[in-house]
């Protein structure tokens, strides 16, 4: 079973995270940010990942460090769990409807970090969550997972729906990309022979 355990402690956050790629969608999330907890719970369910996260952060400042550092730790977990990426499909994509919102996500575990983030978020906050932090979360993730990730809003008006659609869509794209290719389970999916 491909899994990882990440402990990340800084002056701003203290994070303990576990990830199982071949999971059942079970999660136990406590980041100190209710909206982020909700997003990561549905991320685990839609990716079929088992995920536990406990974060104690400097939330008296704001939620920036917590959100960014959880993204960093989650990216580190995917990188560790996938190892040399032998046998993975490598690419994944999803176009996901969430009521009026329609979100496209595409991922490539290329070994190169890039985020294409195109979400038009009408509200500045959802609950206690500054909506600009969605981009910070995914930046932290891609920089540490060493993957290319595009997230594009094709339609949407409700900020909660757009962000929820993004987390669900990314989870399902990651599930596809992380899957073992039954036709080439022992191959590195690159002509270079390394990712």
Is position 188 within any domain? no
Asked if residue 110 belongs to a domain, the reply is yes
Domain assignment present for residue 34? The answer is: yes
pLDDT tens, N- to C-terminus, the chain (195 residues):
899 999 999 999 999 999 999 999 999 999 999 999 999 999 999 999 999 999 999 999 999 999 999 999 999 999 999 999 999 999 999 999 999 999 999 999 999 999 999 999 999 999 989 999 999 999 999 999 999 999 999 999 999 999 999 999 999 999 999 999 999 999 999 999 999
Quick check: is 183 in a domain? Answer: no
* Residue 191 domain flag: no
Predicted structure pTM score: 0.98
Number of compact structural domains in the chain: 1
CATH code for the domain of 156:
3.30.230.40
Q: How many residues does the chain have?
A: 195
Task: Identify each DSSP E strand in the chain by its residue range.
Answer: 3-9, 13-20, 27-30, 50-57, 91-98, 101-108, 114-118, 125-126, 129-130, 148-155
Q: What's the domain range around 116?
A: 3-178
- Does residue 44 fall inside a structural domain? yes
192 located within any domain? no
Would residue 83 count as lying in a domain? Answer: yes
- Side-chain half-sphere of 181: how many Cα atoms within 13 Å? 16
């Amino acid at each position: 079973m491909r899994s990882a355990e990440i402990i990340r402690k800084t002056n701003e956050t203290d994070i303990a995270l576990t990830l199982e790629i071949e999971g059942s969608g079970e999660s136990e999330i406590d980041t100190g940010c209710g909206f982020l907890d909700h997003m990561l719970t549905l991320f685990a369910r839609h990716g079929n990942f088992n995920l536990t996260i406990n974060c104690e952060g400097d939330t008296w400042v704001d939620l920036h460090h917590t959100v960014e550092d959880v993204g960093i730790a989650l990216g580190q977990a995917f990188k560790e769990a996938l190892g040399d990426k032998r046998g993975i499909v490598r690419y994944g994509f999803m176009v996901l409807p969430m009521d009026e919102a329609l979100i496209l996500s595409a991922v490539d575990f290329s070994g190169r970090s890039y985020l294409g983030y195109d979400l038009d978020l009408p509200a500045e906050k959802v609950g206690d969550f500054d909506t600009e932090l969605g981009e910070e979360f995914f930046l932290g993730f891609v920089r540490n997972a060493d993957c290319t990730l595009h997230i594009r809003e094709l339609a949407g008006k409700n900020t909660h729906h757009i962000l929820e659609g993004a987390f669900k869509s990314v989870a399902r794209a990651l599930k596809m990309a992380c899957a073992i290719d039954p036709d080439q389970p022992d191959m590195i999916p690159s002509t270079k022979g390394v990712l």
